[in-house]
Chain A
Amino acid sequence: MAGLQLLSEYGLRVDGRRPNELRQIRCKMGVFSQPDGSAYLEQGNTKVLAAVYGPHEVRLNRSKTHHDRAYINCQFSMAVFSTSERKRRPRGDRKSQEMDMNLNQIFESAIRTELYPRSRIDIYLEVLQADGSNFSACVNAATLALIDAGIPLKDYVCSCTSTLAPSQGGAPPTPMVDVNHVEETLGGPGLSMSTLPRLDSVVHLELSGTRLHLSHIDPVAEKAATGAADIMAVLDKAVRGHVAQCLHAREVSGQGADA
Protein backbone atom coordinates (compact mmCIF):
# COMPACT_ATOMS: atom_id res chain seq x y z
CA MET A 1 0.00 0.00 0.00
CA ALA A 2 2.14 2.82 -1.26
CA GLY A 3 1.67 6.04 0.56
CA LEU A 4 0.10 4.52 3.66
CA GLN A 5 2.39 5.21 6.53
CA LEU A 6 2.24 3.56 9.87
CA LEU A 7 2.96 6.83 11.61
CA SER A 8 1.91 10.11 10.13
CA GLU A 9 3.97 13.28 10.47
CA TYR A 10 1.79 14.34 13.40
CA GLY A 11 2.66 11.17 15.25
CA LEU A 12 -0.72 9.53 14.65
CA ARG A 13 -1.24 5.95 13.63
CA VAL A 14 -3.52 4.61 10.93
CA ASP A 15 -6.51 4.53 13.26
CA GLY A 16 -5.72 7.83 14.97
CA ARG A 17 -3.99 6.50 18.06
CA ARG A 18 -0.69 7.59 19.54
CA PRO A 19 2.15 5.04 19.54
CA ASN A 20 1.70 4.18 23.19
CA GLU A 21 -2.09 4.01 23.22
CA LEU A 22 -4.00 0.80 23.55
CA ARG A 23 -7.26 0.21 21.74
CA GLN A 24 -10.49 0.33 23.67
CA ILE A 25 -10.92 -2.87 25.66
CA ARG A 26 -14.40 -4.02 26.60
CA CYS A 27 -15.09 -7.31 28.24
CA LYS A 28 -17.72 -9.36 29.93
CA MET A 29 -17.41 -12.46 32.09
CA GLY A 30 -19.91 -15.24 32.44
CA VAL A 31 -21.37 -14.94 28.95
CA PHE A 32 -22.53 -18.55 28.66
CA SER A 33 -24.07 -20.81 31.23
CA GLN A 34 -22.89 -24.20 30.02
CA PRO A 35 -19.09 -23.83 30.30
CA ASP A 36 -17.61 -23.58 33.78
CA GLY A 37 -16.15 -20.22 32.91
CA SER A 38 -16.58 -17.96 29.91
CA ALA A 39 -15.59 -14.49 28.81
CA TYR A 40 -15.95 -12.15 25.88
CA LEU A 41 -13.26 -9.61 25.12
CA GLU A 42 -13.07 -6.84 22.56
CA GLN A 43 -9.79 -5.17 21.83
CA GLY A 44 -10.78 -2.50 19.35
CA ASN A 45 -12.37 -4.48 16.55
CA THR A 46 -10.86 -7.82 17.51
CA LYS A 47 -13.56 -9.87 19.22
CA VAL A 48 -12.80 -13.09 21.04
CA LEU A 49 -14.91 -15.56 23.00
CA ALA A 50 -13.30 -17.87 25.54
CA ALA A 51 -14.80 -20.87 27.31
CA VAL A 52 -13.24 -22.97 30.03
CA TYR A 53 -14.34 -26.45 31.04
CA GLY A 54 -12.79 -27.89 34.11
CA PRO A 55 -11.14 -29.09 36.11
CA HIS A 56 -12.67 -32.44 35.21
CA GLU A 57 -11.73 -36.05 34.75
CA VAL A 58 -9.52 -36.94 31.83
CA ARG A 59 -11.81 -38.82 29.46
CA LEU A 60 -10.27 -39.62 26.14
CA ASN A 61 -6.61 -40.50 26.56
CA ARG A 62 -5.74 -41.90 29.94
CA SER A 63 -2.11 -41.60 28.91
CA LYS A 64 -2.36 -37.83 29.11
CA THR A 65 -3.01 -37.82 32.84
CA HIS A 66 -0.25 -36.40 34.99
CA HIS A 67 -0.10 -37.85 38.48
CA ASP A 68 0.94 -34.59 40.08
CA ARG A 69 -0.69 -31.85 38.07
CA ALA A 70 -3.53 -30.96 35.74
CA TYR A 71 -3.41 -31.46 32.00
CA ILE A 72 -4.14 -28.26 30.12
CA ASN A 73 -5.71 -28.43 26.67
CA CYS A 74 -6.21 -25.34 24.55
CA GLN A 75 -7.89 -24.96 21.23
CA PHE A 76 -7.64 -21.88 19.08
CA SER A 77 -10.27 -21.47 16.40
CA MET A 78 -11.15 -18.63 14.06
CA ALA A 79 -14.69 -18.30 12.79
CA VAL A 80 -15.00 -18.63 9.03
CA PHE A 81 -16.34 -15.09 8.77
CA SER A 82 -13.79 -13.49 11.10
CA THR A 83 -11.48 -12.22 8.38
CA SER A 84 -12.43 -10.04 5.45
CA GLU A 85 -11.70 -12.92 3.10
CA ARG A 86 -13.65 -16.00 4.09
CA LYS A 87 -11.55 -18.66 5.77
CA ARG A 88 -12.01 -22.21 4.58
CA ARG A 89 -11.17 -24.09 7.76
CA PRO A 90 -11.83 -22.71 11.23
CA ARG A 91 -9.16 -24.85 12.92
CA GLY A 92 -6.85 -27.78 12.36
CA ASP A 93 -4.38 -26.11 10.05
CA ARG A 94 -0.75 -25.71 10.98
CA LYS A 95 -0.98 -22.15 12.18
CA SER A 96 -3.84 -22.93 14.54
CA GLN A 97 -2.01 -25.96 15.87
CA GLU A 98 1.01 -23.81 16.58
CA MET A 99 -1.20 -21.34 18.42
CA ASP A 100 -2.68 -24.23 20.41
CA MET A 101 0.79 -25.25 21.52
CA ASN A 102 1.74 -21.71 22.48
CA LEU A 103 -1.43 -21.29 24.50
CA ASN A 104 -0.81 -24.60 26.24
CA GLN A 105 2.64 -23.44 27.18
CA ILE A 106 1.43 -20.10 28.52
CA PHE A 107 -1.32 -21.47 30.68
CA GLU A 108 0.69 -24.36 32.01
CA SER A 109 3.00 -21.79 33.54
CA ALA A 110 0.23 -19.55 34.77
CA ILE A 111 -2.29 -21.96 36.25
CA ARG A 112 -1.63 -23.53 39.65
CA THR A 113 -1.77 -26.99 38.10
CA GLU A 114 -0.32 -28.73 41.15
CA LEU A 115 -3.66 -28.21 42.88
CA TYR A 116 -5.50 -30.52 40.46
CA PRO A 117 -3.57 -33.72 39.91
CA ARG A 118 -4.96 -36.24 37.41
CA SER A 119 -7.49 -33.81 36.03
CA ARG A 120 -7.89 -31.81 32.88
CA ILE A 121 -8.71 -28.20 32.10
CA ASP A 122 -10.00 -27.32 28.61
CA ILE A 123 -9.69 -23.79 27.25
CA TYR A 124 -11.49 -23.07 23.99
CA LEU A 125 -11.05 -19.82 22.11
CA GLU A 126 -13.13 -18.59 19.24
CA VAL A 127 -12.15 -15.46 17.30
CA LEU A 128 -15.32 -13.83 16.00
CA GLN A 129 -13.63 -10.92 14.32
CA ALA A 130 -9.94 -10.64 13.58
CA ASP A 131 -8.48 -7.15 13.47
CA GLY A 132 -4.91 -7.66 14.61
CA SER A 133 -3.37 -8.91 17.87
CA ASN A 134 -5.60 -11.99 17.69
CA PHE A 135 -3.29 -14.10 19.79
CA SER A 136 -2.93 -11.45 22.48
CA ALA A 137 -6.66 -10.91 22.66
CA CYS A 138 -7.13 -14.67 23.02
CA VAL A 139 -4.72 -14.85 25.94
CA ASN A 140 -6.46 -11.98 27.69
CA ALA A 141 -9.89 -13.48 27.12
CA ALA A 142 -8.71 -16.87 28.36
CA THR A 143 -7.41 -15.27 31.56
CA LEU A 144 -10.83 -13.78 32.25
CA ALA A 145 -12.55 -17.07 31.49
CA LEU A 146 -10.23 -18.93 33.86
CA ILE A 147 -10.98 -16.42 36.59
CA ASP A 148 -14.69 -16.81 35.89
CA ALA A 149 -14.30 -20.57 36.25
CA GLY A 150 -12.61 -20.08 39.61
CA ILE A 151 -9.35 -21.76 38.62
CA PRO A 152 -6.43 -20.45 40.71
CA LEU A 153 -3.82 -18.55 38.74
CA LYS A 154 -0.41 -17.29 39.78
CA ASP A 155 -1.26 -13.92 38.30
CA TYR A 156 -3.21 -12.32 35.47
CA VAL A 157 -1.78 -13.39 32.13
CA CYS A 158 -1.72 -10.30 29.98
CA SER A 159 -0.56 -10.20 26.43
CA CYS A 160 0.24 -7.44 24.03
CA THR A 161 1.70 -7.19 20.54
CA SER A 162 3.95 -4.33 19.56
CA THR A 163 5.68 -3.33 16.38
CA LEU A 164 8.24 -0.86 15.12
CA ALA A 165 7.33 1.92 12.77
CA PRO A 166 10.16 2.57 10.30
CA SER A 167 12.12 5.73 10.78
CA GLN A 168 10.79 8.78 9.01
CA GLY A 169 12.66 11.92 8.12
CA GLY A 170 15.61 11.24 10.32
CA ALA A 171 13.60 10.45 13.45
CA PRO A 172 14.46 7.12 15.11
CA PRO A 173 12.02 4.29 14.51
CA THR A 174 9.13 4.39 17.00
CA PRO A 175 7.84 1.34 18.78
CA MET A 176 4.03 1.12 18.79
CA VAL A 177 1.83 -0.89 21.08
CA ASP A 178 -1.29 -3.01 20.35
CA VAL A 179 -1.18 -3.48 16.59
CA ASN A 180 -4.27 -3.70 14.44
CA HIS A 181 -4.73 -5.64 11.22
CA VAL A 182 -3.41 -2.96 8.90
CA GLU A 183 -0.24 -2.53 10.92
CA GLU A 184 0.25 -6.28 11.07
CA THR A 185 -0.03 -6.82 7.35
CA LEU A 186 2.04 -3.82 6.28
CA GLY A 187 5.10 -5.93 6.85
CA GLY A 188 6.77 -4.73 10.00
CA PRO A 189 7.97 -6.94 12.84
CA GLY A 190 5.40 -8.06 15.40
CA LEU A 191 6.57 -8.85 18.90
CA SER A 192 3.97 -10.70 20.91
CA MET A 193 4.62 -10.85 24.62
CA SER A 194 2.61 -12.53 27.37
CA THR A 195 3.55 -11.63 30.90
CA LEU A 196 2.56 -12.12 34.51
CA PRO A 197 2.73 -8.39 35.28
CA ARG A 198 2.80 -8.43 39.08
CA LEU A 199 5.40 -11.17 39.20
CA ASP A 200 7.29 -9.29 36.51
CA SER A 201 7.87 -12.42 34.46
CA VAL A 202 7.48 -13.21 30.79
CA VAL A 203 5.73 -16.47 29.95
CA HIS A 204 5.78 -16.21 26.19
CA LEU A 205 7.63 -14.16 23.63
CA GLU A 206 7.25 -14.45 19.89
CA LEU A 207 8.62 -12.39 17.05
CA SER A 208 6.99 -12.68 13.65
CA GLY A 209 7.09 -10.71 10.47
CA THR A 210 10.33 -9.05 9.41
CA ARG A 211 13.61 -8.90 11.23
CA LEU A 212 14.25 -6.72 14.17
CA HIS A 213 17.66 -5.28 14.83
CA LEU A 214 19.18 -6.13 18.21
CA SER A 215 19.28 -2.51 19.27
CA HIS A 216 15.54 -2.18 18.71
CA ILE A 217 14.49 -5.25 20.65
CA ASP A 218 14.65 -3.61 24.06
CA PRO A 219 12.43 -0.61 23.35
CA VAL A 220 9.87 -2.74 21.51
CA ALA A 221 9.81 -5.38 24.24
CA GLU A 222 9.49 -2.71 26.89
CA LYS A 223 6.58 -1.19 25.04
CA ALA A 224 4.89 -4.58 24.93
CA ALA A 225 5.49 -5.15 28.63
CA THR A 226 4.04 -1.74 29.50
CA GLY A 227 1.10 -2.45 27.26
CA ALA A 228 0.52 -5.74 29.06
CA ALA A 229 0.67 -4.01 32.43
CA ASP A 230 -1.91 -1.48 31.24
CA ILE A 231 -4.13 -4.28 30.02
CA MET A 232 -3.86 -5.88 33.44
CA ALA A 233 -5.31 -2.75 35.00
CA VAL A 234 -8.30 -2.98 32.68
CA LEU A 235 -8.83 -6.70 33.29
CA ASP A 236 -8.47 -6.27 37.05
CA LYS A 237 -11.14 -3.58 37.05
CA ALA A 238 -13.45 -5.81 35.02
CA VAL A 239 -12.96 -8.76 37.35
CA ARG A 240 -13.60 -6.70 40.46
CA GLY A 241 -16.70 -5.21 38.87
CA HIS A 242 -17.99 -8.65 37.94
CA VAL A 243 -17.42 -10.07 41.41
CA ALA A 244 -19.12 -7.08 43.02
CA GLN A 245 -22.07 -7.58 40.72
CA CYS A 246 -22.32 -11.28 41.56
CA LEU A 247 -22.14 -10.58 45.29
CA HIS A 248 -24.81 -7.93 44.97
CA ALA A 249 -27.05 -10.30 43.09
CA ARG A 250 -26.58 -12.93 45.78
CA GLU A 251 -27.42 -10.47 48.53
CA VAL A 252 -30.51 -9.29 46.74
CA SER A 253 -31.74 -12.83 46.33
CA GLY A 254 -31.25 -13.42 50.03
CA GLN A 255 -28.37 -15.83 49.82
CA GLY A 256 -26.05 -13.51 51.72
CA ALA A 257 -26.74 -15.45 54.89
CA ASP A 258 -24.65 -18.40 53.65
CA ALA A 259 -21.33 -18.49 55.43
Chain B
Amino acid sequence: MADILLSEAEKTFILHGVRDNVRNDGRSCSEFRPIELELGLVENANGSARVRLANTDVLVAVKCEIDNPPSNFPDEGKLDFFVDCSANATPQFEGKGGEQLAVELAALMSRAYQTRESFNLSTLSIIKGMKCWKLCIDVLILECGGSLIDAISMGTKAALADTKIPKVSVIGSDEGTLELELADEADGREEPLDWHHAPCLVTLNKLEDSLLVDASAEEEACCAAALIVGVSPNKKITTTSIPGHGSFLADSKIFARALNLAVDVGVKLNTALEAAIKKHQTLKPPPRGFLD
Protein backbone atom coordinates (compact mmCIF):
# COMPACT_ATOMS: atom_id res chain seq x y z
CA MET B 1 0.00 0.00 0.00
CA ALA B 2 1.10 3.54 -0.59
CA ASP B 3 3.32 4.84 2.15
CA ILE B 4 1.98 7.74 4.09
CA LEU B 5 4.45 9.96 5.86
CA LEU B 6 3.04 11.51 9.00
CA SER B 7 4.67 13.86 11.43
CA GLU B 8 4.57 13.28 15.17
CA ALA B 9 2.16 16.17 15.58
CA GLU B 10 -0.28 14.64 13.11
CA LYS B 11 -0.05 11.29 14.85
CA THR B 12 -0.69 12.89 18.23
CA PHE B 13 -3.64 14.75 16.79
CA ILE B 14 -5.20 11.55 15.52
CA LEU B 15 -4.52 9.80 18.82
CA HIS B 16 -6.15 12.53 20.92
CA GLY B 17 -9.18 12.53 18.69
CA VAL B 18 -9.57 8.77 18.87
CA ARG B 19 -9.44 8.89 22.67
CA ASP B 20 -12.57 11.03 22.53
CA ASN B 21 -14.16 8.72 19.94
CA VAL B 22 -13.85 11.31 17.20
CA ARG B 23 -11.79 10.73 14.09
CA ASN B 24 -10.38 13.16 11.54
CA ASP B 25 -13.44 13.02 9.34
CA GLY B 26 -15.95 13.18 12.19
CA ARG B 27 -16.77 9.47 12.41
CA SER B 28 -16.87 7.47 15.59
CA CYS B 29 -14.47 4.59 16.08
CA SER B 30 -16.90 1.95 14.85
CA GLU B 31 -18.29 3.66 11.78
CA PHE B 32 -17.57 2.86 8.19
CA ARG B 33 -17.07 5.48 5.54
CA PRO B 34 -19.82 5.74 2.91
CA ILE B 35 -19.76 2.71 0.66
CA GLU B 36 -20.86 2.67 -2.96
CA LEU B 37 -21.74 -0.60 -4.60
CA GLU B 38 -22.51 -1.38 -8.19
CA LEU B 39 -23.29 -4.74 -9.77
CA GLY B 40 -23.00 -6.13 -13.25
CA LEU B 41 -20.31 -3.87 -14.67
CA VAL B 42 -18.19 -6.41 -16.49
CA GLU B 43 -19.99 -7.97 -19.41
CA ASN B 44 -17.54 -10.78 -20.06
CA ALA B 45 -17.89 -12.13 -16.55
CA ASN B 46 -20.72 -14.20 -15.09
CA GLY B 47 -21.02 -11.77 -12.21
CA SER B 48 -19.23 -8.64 -11.12
CA ALA B 49 -19.31 -5.87 -8.56
CA ARG B 50 -17.52 -2.63 -7.89
CA VAL B 51 -17.05 -1.31 -4.37
CA ARG B 52 -15.96 2.21 -3.58
CA LEU B 53 -15.11 2.87 0.05
CA ALA B 54 -13.96 6.51 0.10
CA ASN B 55 -10.55 6.32 -1.59
CA THR B 56 -10.48 2.57 -2.01
CA ASP B 57 -11.79 1.26 -5.32
CA VAL B 58 -12.05 -2.43 -6.03
CA LEU B 59 -13.54 -4.32 -8.98
CA VAL B 60 -14.41 -8.00 -8.50
CA ALA B 61 -15.45 -10.32 -11.33
CA VAL B 62 -16.53 -13.96 -11.21
CA LYS B 63 -16.04 -16.25 -14.17
CA CYS B 64 -17.19 -19.85 -14.31
CA GLU B 65 -15.19 -22.63 -15.87
CA ILE B 66 -15.81 -26.34 -16.10
CA ASP B 67 -13.12 -28.36 -14.39
CA ASN B 68 -12.40 -31.71 -12.76
CA PRO B 69 -13.31 -31.91 -9.09
CA PRO B 70 -10.58 -32.41 -6.47
CA SER B 71 -9.77 -36.08 -5.94
CA ASN B 72 -10.42 -36.18 -2.21
CA PHE B 73 -13.77 -34.36 -2.48
CA PRO B 74 -15.36 -35.62 -5.71
CA ASP B 75 -18.74 -34.04 -5.08
CA GLU B 76 -17.48 -30.51 -4.66
CA GLY B 77 -16.53 -27.67 -6.94
CA LYS B 78 -13.64 -25.24 -6.71
CA LEU B 79 -13.20 -21.62 -5.74
CA ASP B 80 -10.11 -19.81 -6.93
CA PHE B 81 -9.11 -16.31 -5.85
CA PHE B 82 -6.81 -14.08 -7.85
CA VAL B 83 -5.91 -10.57 -6.79
CA ASP B 84 -4.30 -8.09 -9.16
CA CYS B 85 -2.89 -4.87 -7.76
CA SER B 86 -3.10 -2.49 -10.67
CA ALA B 87 -0.39 0.12 -11.05
CA ASN B 88 -3.18 2.72 -11.24
CA ALA B 89 -3.38 2.53 -7.48
CA THR B 90 0.23 3.46 -6.78
CA PRO B 91 3.46 3.38 -8.82
CA GLN B 92 4.86 0.83 -6.37
CA PHE B 93 2.56 -1.77 -7.85
CA GLU B 94 4.27 -1.56 -11.21
CA GLY B 95 5.45 -4.84 -12.66
CA LYS B 96 5.78 -7.30 -9.81
CA GLY B 97 5.68 -4.71 -7.05
CA GLY B 98 2.22 -5.57 -5.82
CA GLU B 99 2.68 -9.32 -5.91
CA GLN B 100 3.29 -9.89 -2.22
CA LEU B 101 0.25 -7.91 -1.21
CA ALA B 102 -1.80 -9.72 -3.85
CA VAL B 103 -0.73 -13.13 -2.52
CA GLU B 104 -1.58 -12.12 1.05
CA LEU B 105 -5.03 -10.87 0.11
CA ALA B 106 -5.83 -13.89 -2.06
CA ALA B 107 -4.77 -16.26 0.74
CA LEU B 108 -6.94 -14.41 3.27
CA MET B 109 -9.97 -14.54 1.02
CA SER B 110 -9.62 -18.23 0.21
CA ARG B 111 -9.31 -18.99 3.91
CA ALA B 112 -12.41 -17.00 4.71
CA TYR B 113 -14.38 -19.02 2.15
CA GLN B 114 -12.84 -22.36 3.10
CA THR B 115 -15.59 -23.91 5.20
CA ARG B 116 -18.87 -25.36 4.00
CA GLU B 117 -20.83 -22.93 6.11
CA SER B 118 -19.43 -19.91 4.28
CA PHE B 119 -19.82 -21.30 0.82
CA ASN B 120 -21.19 -24.71 0.00
CA LEU B 121 -18.93 -26.08 -2.69
CA SER B 122 -21.18 -29.08 -3.32
CA THR B 123 -23.60 -26.76 -5.14
CA LEU B 124 -20.93 -26.39 -7.82
CA SER B 125 -20.81 -30.04 -8.71
CA ILE B 126 -22.09 -31.06 -12.14
CA ILE B 127 -21.32 -34.76 -12.27
CA LYS B 128 -19.87 -36.32 -9.16
CA GLY B 129 -16.26 -37.29 -9.62
CA MET B 130 -16.03 -36.06 -13.19
CA LYS B 131 -17.05 -32.47 -13.77
CA CYS B 132 -17.61 -29.48 -11.58
CA TRP B 133 -17.74 -25.72 -11.79
CA LYS B 134 -14.70 -23.73 -10.90
CA LEU B 135 -15.45 -20.16 -9.91
CA CYS B 136 -12.54 -17.88 -10.69
CA ILE B 137 -12.93 -14.81 -8.54
CA ASP B 138 -10.69 -12.04 -9.86
CA VAL B 139 -10.12 -8.92 -7.85
CA LEU B 140 -8.69 -5.80 -9.44
CA ILE B 141 -7.49 -3.13 -7.03
CA LEU B 142 -7.81 0.25 -8.69
CA GLU B 143 -7.15 2.54 -5.77
CA CYS B 144 -5.84 1.97 -2.24
CA GLY B 145 -7.03 4.16 0.56
CA GLY B 146 -7.14 1.87 3.56
CA SER B 147 -9.49 -1.02 4.44
CA LEU B 148 -8.53 -2.92 1.34
CA ILE B 149 -9.58 -6.35 2.58
CA ASP B 150 -12.95 -5.03 3.76
CA ALA B 151 -13.71 -3.68 0.31
CA ILE B 152 -12.53 -6.88 -1.36
CA SER B 153 -14.70 -9.09 0.82
CA MET B 154 -17.76 -6.93 0.20
CA GLY B 155 -17.06 -6.91 -3.52
CA THR B 156 -16.68 -10.69 -3.56
CA LYS B 157 -19.95 -11.25 -1.77
CA ALA B 158 -21.74 -8.85 -4.11
CA ALA B 159 -20.15 -10.38 -7.20
CA LEU B 160 -21.23 -13.86 -6.07
CA ALA B 161 -24.74 -12.51 -5.60
CA ASP B 162 -24.64 -11.19 -9.16
CA THR B 163 -23.30 -14.44 -10.62
CA LYS B 164 -25.52 -16.62 -12.71
CA ILE B 165 -24.27 -20.03 -13.67
CA PRO B 166 -25.60 -21.53 -16.87
CA LYS B 167 -27.67 -24.66 -16.50
CA VAL B 168 -25.78 -27.72 -17.69
CA SER B 169 -27.22 -30.89 -19.13
CA VAL B 170 -25.41 -34.03 -20.17
CA ILE B 171 -26.06 -35.18 -23.69
CA GLY B 172 -24.68 -38.57 -24.37
CA SER B 173 -21.39 -40.08 -23.31
CA ASP B 174 -19.05 -41.15 -26.02
CA GLU B 175 -16.48 -43.81 -25.04
CA GLY B 176 -16.09 -42.51 -21.55
CA THR B 177 -15.99 -38.81 -22.41
CA LEU B 178 -19.01 -36.75 -21.56
CA GLU B 179 -20.69 -34.15 -23.65
CA LEU B 180 -22.05 -31.26 -21.70
CA GLU B 181 -24.45 -28.77 -23.06
CA LEU B 182 -24.82 -25.31 -21.66
CA ALA B 183 -28.22 -23.67 -21.66
CA ASP B 184 -28.56 -20.71 -23.98
CA GLU B 185 -28.96 -17.25 -22.62
CA ALA B 186 -32.51 -17.14 -23.84
CA ASP B 187 -33.38 -20.35 -22.02
CA GLY B 188 -32.91 -18.82 -18.63
CA ARG B 189 -29.41 -19.47 -17.35
CA GLU B 190 -30.62 -18.38 -13.96
CA GLU B 191 -28.96 -20.47 -11.39
CA PRO B 192 -27.96 -18.11 -8.67
CA LEU B 193 -25.42 -19.15 -6.09
CA ASP B 194 -26.03 -19.51 -2.41
CA TRP B 195 -24.15 -16.44 -1.34
CA HIS B 196 -26.11 -15.45 1.74
CA HIS B 197 -23.73 -17.03 4.20
CA ALA B 198 -20.59 -15.58 2.68
CA PRO B 199 -18.46 -13.72 5.21
CA CYS B 200 -17.43 -10.09 5.29
CA LEU B 201 -13.96 -9.31 6.58
CA VAL B 202 -13.53 -6.46 9.00
CA THR B 203 -10.19 -4.88 9.81
CA LEU B 204 -9.74 -3.54 13.30
CA ASN B 205 -6.78 -1.28 13.92
CA LYS B 206 -5.54 -0.87 17.46
CA LEU B 207 -4.48 2.62 18.49
CA GLU B 208 -3.53 2.57 22.15
CA ASP B 209 -6.66 1.37 23.88
CA SER B 210 -9.11 2.10 21.13
CA LEU B 211 -10.09 -0.04 18.21
CA LEU B 212 -10.75 1.61 14.86
CA VAL B 213 -13.00 0.20 12.19
CA ASP B 214 -12.29 1.13 8.58
CA ALA B 215 -9.12 3.11 9.23
CA SER B 216 -8.01 5.56 6.58
CA ALA B 217 -4.45 5.36 5.29
CA GLU B 218 -3.30 8.05 7.75
CA GLU B 219 -4.83 6.24 10.70
CA GLU B 220 -3.30 2.95 9.61
CA ALA B 221 0.12 4.59 9.66
CA CYS B 222 -0.36 5.42 13.36
CA CYS B 223 -1.63 2.09 14.55
CA ALA B 224 0.60 -0.48 16.14
CA ALA B 225 -1.39 -3.61 15.43
CA ALA B 226 -4.33 -4.77 13.38
CA LEU B 227 -6.71 -7.69 13.52
CA ILE B 228 -8.62 -8.96 10.52
CA VAL B 229 -11.78 -10.90 11.36
CA GLY B 230 -14.07 -12.64 8.89
CA VAL B 231 -17.67 -12.51 10.11
CA SER B 232 -20.53 -14.43 8.57
CA PRO B 233 -24.14 -13.22 8.84
CA ASN B 234 -24.95 -15.70 11.61
CA LYS B 235 -22.39 -14.11 13.93
CA LYS B 236 -19.76 -16.78 13.44
CA ILE B 237 -16.11 -16.03 12.81
CA THR B 238 -14.63 -17.71 9.75
CA THR B 239 -11.07 -16.49 9.87
CA THR B 240 -8.76 -14.25 11.86
CA SER B 241 -5.30 -12.97 11.15
CA ILE B 242 -2.87 -10.45 12.57
CA PRO B 243 -1.20 -8.79 9.59
CA GLY B 244 1.99 -6.79 9.68
CA HIS B 245 4.43 -6.55 12.53
CA GLY B 246 2.08 -5.81 15.40
CA SER B 247 1.16 -7.98 18.35
CA PHE B 248 -1.63 -7.99 20.90
CA LEU B 249 -1.46 -8.47 24.63
CA ALA B 250 -2.69 -11.97 25.46
CA ASP B 251 -5.51 -10.61 27.54
CA SER B 252 -8.81 -12.30 26.95
CA LYS B 253 -10.68 -9.09 27.81
CA ILE B 254 -8.98 -7.17 25.01
CA PHE B 255 -9.67 -9.93 22.53
CA ALA B 256 -13.24 -10.28 23.74
CA ARG B 257 -13.80 -6.57 23.21
CA ALA B 258 -12.16 -6.64 19.80
CA LEU B 259 -14.04 -9.70 18.63
CA ASN B 260 -17.38 -8.50 19.91
CA LEU B 261 -16.87 -5.22 18.09
CA ALA B 262 -15.83 -7.09 14.96
CA VAL B 263 -18.86 -9.38 15.12
CA ASP B 264 -21.21 -6.43 15.72
CA VAL B 265 -19.80 -4.43 12.85
CA GLY B 266 -19.54 -7.49 10.63
CA VAL B 267 -23.16 -8.49 11.11
CA LYS B 268 -24.35 -4.94 10.45
CA LEU B 269 -22.17 -4.79 7.35
CA ASN B 270 -23.55 -8.09 6.09
CA THR B 271 -27.14 -6.93 6.62
CA ALA B 272 -26.55 -3.61 4.90
CA LEU B 273 -24.79 -5.32 2.01
CA GLU B 274 -27.62 -7.80 1.54
CA ALA B 275 -30.17 -5.01 1.57
CA ALA B 276 -28.21 -3.02 -1.02
CA ILE B 277 -27.82 -6.07 -3.26
CA LYS B 278 -31.52 -6.90 -3.07
CA LYS B 279 -32.39 -3.31 -3.90
CA HIS B 280 -30.04 -3.36 -6.85
CA GLN B 281 -31.47 -6.62 -8.11
CA THR B 282 -35.07 -5.44 -7.91
CA LEU B 283 -34.54 -1.98 -9.32
CA LYS B 284 -31.97 -3.03 -11.92
CA PRO B 285 -30.56 0.44 -12.58
CA PRO B 286 -28.56 0.91 -15.79
CA PRO B 287 -24.86 0.42 -15.14
CA ARG B 288 -23.08 3.73 -14.58
CA GLY B 289 -19.59 2.38 -14.24
CA PHE B 290 -16.97 5.07 -14.08
CA LEU B 291 -18.93 7.57 -16.08
CA ASP B 292 -20.91 9.20 -13.34
**In this assembly, does A22 line the interface, its C-beta being within 8 Å of a C-beta of chain B?**
no
Q: How far is the CB of B162 from chain A (nearest CB, A)?
A: 13
Give per-residue flags for A64-89: 1 if the beta carbon is below 8 A from chain B beta carbons, else 0: 00000000010101011111101000
Beta-carbon contact of B63 and A81 below 8 Å: yes
Chain-B contact segment, one of A26-34, A208-216, A224-232, A251-259:
A26-34
Beta-carbon contact of B136 and A86 below 8 Å: yes
Beta-carbon contact of A82 and B94 below 8 Å: no
**In this assembly, does A90 line the interface, its C-beta being within 8 Å of a C-beta of chain B?**
yes
Q: For residue B90, which residues in chain A have a CB less than 8 angstroms away from its CB?
A: 34
Q: For residue A27, which residues in chain B have a CB less than 8 angstroms away from its CB?
A: 291
**In this assembly, does A38 line the interface, its C-beta being within 8 Å of a C-beta of chain B?**
yes
Tell whether A81 pairs with B42 under 8 Å between CB atoms, given A28-B291, A86-B63: yes
| Separation of A77 and B102 alpha carbons in the complex (Å) | 16
| Separation of A35 and B92 alpha carbons in the complex (Å) | 12
Give A31's nearest chain B residue, CB to CB.
B290
Q: State which of A38, A92, A129 has its C-beta within 8 Å of the C-beta of B95.
A: A92
Beta-carbon contact of A33 and B291 below 8 Å: no
Q: Which of A32, A38, A73, A128 has the largest count of B CB atoms less than 10 A from its CB?
A: A128
Q: Place the interface of chain A in its size category.
A: 35 or more
Tell whether A40 pairs with B43 under 8 Å between CB atoms, given A34-B145, A51-B88, A79-B140: no
Beta-carbon contact of B88 and A80 below 8 Å: no
| Separation of A48 and B51 alpha carbons in the complex (Å) | 18
Q: Place the interface of chain B in its size category.
A: 35 or more
Beta-carbon contact of B44 and A35 below 8 Å: no
| Separation of A124 and B195 alpha carbons in the complex (Å) | 34
Q: State which of A32, A84, A92 has its C-beta within 8 Å of the C-beta of B57.
A: A32
Beta-carbon contact of B87 and A77 below 8 Å: yes
Beta-carbon contact of A122 and B91 below 8 Å: yes
Q: For residue B44, which residues in chain A have a CB less than 8 angstroms away from its CB?
A: 81-84, 129
Q: How far is the CB of A205 from chain B (nearest CB, A)?
A: 27
**In this assembly, does A126 line the interface, its C-beta being within 8 Å of a C-beta of chain B?**
yes
| Separation of A251 and B180 alpha carbons in the complex (Å) | 63
Tell whether A86 pairs with B65 under 8 Å between CB atoms, given A32-B57, A47-B289: yes
Beta-carbon contact of B88 and A124 below 8 Å: yes
**In this assembly, does A105 line the interface, its C-beta being within 8 Å of a C-beta of chain B?**
no
Give B48's nearest chain A residue, CB to CB.
A81
Q: For residue B41, which residues in chain A have a CB less than 8 angstroms away from its CB?
A: 128
| Separation of A142 and B145 alpha carbons in the complex (Å) | 23
Give B46's nearest chain A residue, CB to CB.
A81
**In this assembly, does A116 line the interface, its C-beta being within 8 Å of a C-beta of chain B?**
no
Beta-carbon contact of B91 and A38 below 8 Å: no
**In this assembly, does A5 line the interface, its C-beta being within 8 Å of a C-beta of chain B?**
no
| Separation of A34 and B3 alpha carbons in the complex (Å) | 12
**In this assembly, does B86 line the interface, its C-beta being within 8 Å of a C-beta of chain A?**
yes
| Separation of A182 and B290 alpha carbons in the complex (Å) | 25
Question: Can you identify 16 A-B contacts, CB atoms within 8 angstroms?
Answer: A28-B291, A33-B143, A34-B55, A34-B89, A49-B290, A75-B95, A79-B59, A80-B84, A80-B140, A81-B45, A83-B44, A124-B87, A126-B87, A128-B59, A129-B43, A129-B44
Q: Besides A26-B291, A45-B43, A81-B42, 5 other CB < 8 A contacts?
A: A35-B88, A38-B88, A79-B138, A122-B91, A124-B88
**Which 9 A-B pairs give the minimum distances between C-beta atoms?**
A81-B61, A51-B88, A124-B87, A40-B290, A80-B138, A81-B45, A126-B86, A84-B44, A124-B88
